[in-house]
Amino acid sequence: MQLIEALQRRYATKAFDSTKKLPNVVIEQLFALLRLSPSSTNIQPWHFVVASTEEGKARLAKGAGGSYSYNKSKILDASHVVLFCARTQIDDEHLQKVLAAEERDGRFTAKPEVKAAAHNTRLAYLNEHKFIKKDVPHWLEKQIYLNLGSFLLGAGLLGIDAVPMEGIDQALLDAEFGLNERDLTAVTAVALGYRADTDFNAGLPKSRLAADDIFTLI
Ligand SMILES: Cc1cc2nc3c(=O)[nH]c(=O)nc-3n(C[C@H](O)[C@H](O)[C@H](O)COP(=O)(O)O)c2cc1C
């Protein structure tokens, strides 16, 4: 599918066909999107809870009660739902895990000294956010949104329907999945699958601000 076509076709799906499931070949590509997303200094401050069973989706749907209930049927009827979680802090264990992965993946074979440089750069960025900008959780959450954007585009290119949902009770889901104990917190969720014939939003035209409003060409 061409890029513009995919951008026009994808939309915030409000009703999923609960009888249609994503095939494994698609799920593998969706996992690749999540895993291969870029992040600042390759810090990868994320974790994904992926629900595809009725039980799993019911657990996630607990986060769509009360004022978030408009999202409940999306979670229950989708084929898969991904809960995007952010790390709440970066400790040395995480830094060493990233460094070990980079070494395992062969990024330091040509010049061994690059390993120390990679670690020091990541640590310097982290310390800048810790001690100067004082915004570590915010910085880490930004990386989640970057992943989310690439995920939605990728899903669109694969012809998969999806809806991102900030309308979830993050604290409730933190407790449901024991996330805080693992230095994680729920940020947003994406329901994926195939649109239902009844989805009112599928037939509505896409609407965006005019190009003149958002571009300054110099
Ligand atoms: C971060 C984010 C959170 C969103 N949260 C919800 C949500 O909780 N429920 C929902 O139905 N749509 C949600 N949306 C969908 C937006 O309303 C939708 O993307 C926007 O109106 C643009 O329409 P389009 O995606 O159909 O092009 C969210 C979108 C984003 C990017």
Where are the chain's structural domains? 3-90+135-196
Q: Which atom of ligand 1 is nearest to the CA of 11?
A: 26
- Going by alpha carbons, the residue nearest to atom 21 of ligand 1 is 12
- Going by alpha carbons, the residue nearest to atom 13 of ligand 1 is 165
Ligand 1 centre distance from Cα of residue 36 (Å): 23
Question: Which residues form ligand 1's pocket by a CB distance below 6 Å?
Answer: 11-12, 14, 71, 163-167, 188, 206
pLDDT in tens, 203-212: 999 999 999 9
Catalytic residue positions, numbered: 14, 74, 166
Taking the CA atoms of 142, 144, 149 and 154 in sequence, report the sign of the dihedral they define: positive
- Going by alpha carbons, the residue nearest to atom 4 of ligand 1 is 165
Alpha-carbon distance 141 to 146, whole Å?
9
Ligand 1 centre distance from Cα of residue 123 (Å): 34
Ligand 1 centre distance from Cα of residue 91 (Å): 33
Ligand 1 centre distance from Cα of residue 155 (Å): 15
What is the fold of 3-90+135-196? NADH Oxidase (3.40.109)
Helices (H), the chain: 3-9, 24-36, 54-61, 72-77, 92-104, 113-127, 136-157, 170-176, 211-214
Give 131's DSSP letter.
I
Q: Which atom of ligand 1 is nearest to the CA of 204?
A: 26
Q: For the chain, which residues score pLDDT lower than 50?
A: none
State residue 111's pLDDT score: 86
Beta-carbon-side half-sphere exposure of residue 87 (alpha carbons within 13 Å)? 17
- Judged by DSSP in three states, 74 sits in helix
- Going by alpha carbons, the residue nearest to atom 27 of ligand 1 is 11
